[in-house]
Amino acid sequence: MDDARDRIDTTTAHSARVYDYILGGKDHYLVDAEAGDAMCRHWPALPVHMRENRRFMHRAVRYLAREQGVRQFLDIGTGLPTAPNLHEVVQEVAPESHVVYVDNDPIVLAHARALLLSSPQGATAYVDADMNDPDAILDSPQFRSLLDLDEPVGLTIIGMLHFIAPPGDQDLVRRLLDPLPSGSFLALTIGTADFAPEEVGRVAEEYAQQNMPMTLRDLPTATSFFDGLELVEPGVVQVHKWRPGPEQDGVDDRAIAMYGAVARKP
């Protein structure tokens, strides 16, 4: 297998590294910092938005582990490890949980192998694959060995869909969900310009200039991703409004450009 470091492009900004930079991480390059600074000039609320997207993931998977008894997860578009990571959240509830992480960025791969370490009772694995190639994920040895398809799986796609353009976007989600058994769950966040259209539009333009085009969706379009599934209350809402905790007190709706929801596969 090739060394992931040999595939790292330090001359072009990458969404996972920009995200890391804006959240105050250290796993990025100058080009990512420059892109992140430009985006924050367009929309100073961007760090708040990104933190709340991450916090939604924490609440969603904790809910699935604690209240729905889900013990295995498939996380698409993992990004750079940022504590607490998904497996740390669910293994705090149930140490025996299994998590398969998926990303296709080589710097994410290098860090994931070093840092995404399971509890002794559970297991984690990392798949080097692209969401646009579901078969590479579903046919991977990691998916087949760690996830028991006789038991429910939590499929999480957080902060990814705005980089997936229609018309194939819903089909990609369905292809990942279809093999999972009844009683599985989908946790999804979906970028929108509904609440700060001018500012978020300028951020989208900056992403496009960095060769990372975005698709932003309104509420009806976001809701359509859950057709045929059973939405968990409160349904499709801005991420900071999904089962909020004290950390969400005082968050301005205009600072959040992401819908989120959790739904059960009947």
Domains and CATH numbers, the chain: 4-264 (3.40.50.150)
Residue 210 pLDDT class (50, 70, 90 cuts): confident
Q: Which residue has the higher pLDDT, 21 or 233?
A: 233
Q: Answer for the pair 155, 176: CB distance below 8 angstroms, yes or no.
A: yes
Residue 19 pLDDT class (50, 70, 90 cuts): confident
- Say if strands 185-191 and 258-264 run parallel, antiparallel, or are unpaired: antiparallel
Specify the pLDDT at position 7.
Answer: 61
DSSP per residue, the chain: ---GGGG--SSS--HHHHHHHHTT-S---HHHHHHHHHHHHH-TTHHHHHHHHHHHHHHHHHHHHHHS---EEEEES--S--SSPHHHHHHHH-TT-EEEEEE--HHHHHHHHHH-PPPSSSEEEEEE--TT-HHHHHTSHHHHHH--TTS--EEEE-S-GGGS-TTSHHHHHHHHHTTSPTT-EEEEEEE--SSSHHHHHHHHHHHHHTT-------HHHHHHTTTTSEEPTT-SEEGGGSS--GGGTT--GGG--EEEEEEE--
Specify the pLDDT at position 6.
Answer: 55
The pLDDT of residue 70 is above 50: yes
The pLDDT of residue 1 is above 60: no
Exposure pattern of 189-211 as b/e (b: 16+ CB <10 Å)? Answer: bbbbbbbbeebbbbbbebbeebe
Candidate from 3-17, 28-42, 116-130, 144-158 with smallest mean pLDDT: 3-17
The pLDDT of residue 3 is above 70: no
The pLDDT of residue 17 is above 90: no
When pLDDT is averaged across residues 43-54 and rounded to a whole number, the result is 94
When pLDDT is averaged across residues 70-75 and rounded to a whole number, the result is 98
Average pLDDT over the chain, rounded to an integer: 92
Specify the pLDDT at position 28.
Answer: 82
168-171 CB contacts, 8 Å cutoff, 24+ apart: 169/215, 170/224, 170/225
When pLDDT is averaged across residues 159-179 and rounded to a whole number, the result is 96
84-126 pLDDT, tens digit each? 999 999 999 999 999 999 998 888 888 787 777 889 999 999 9
Share of the chain above pLDDT 70, in %: 97
Specify the pLDDT at position 14.
Answer: 78
Specify the pLDDT at position 116.
Answer: 78
Specify the pLDDT at position 2.
Answer: 47
Candidate from 164-168, 203-207, 236-240, 261-265 with smallest mean pLDDT: 203-207
When pLDDT is averaged across residues 57-67 and rounded to a whole number, the result is 98
Share of the chain above pLDDT 90, in %: 75
Residue 15 pLDDT class (50, 70, 90 cuts): confident
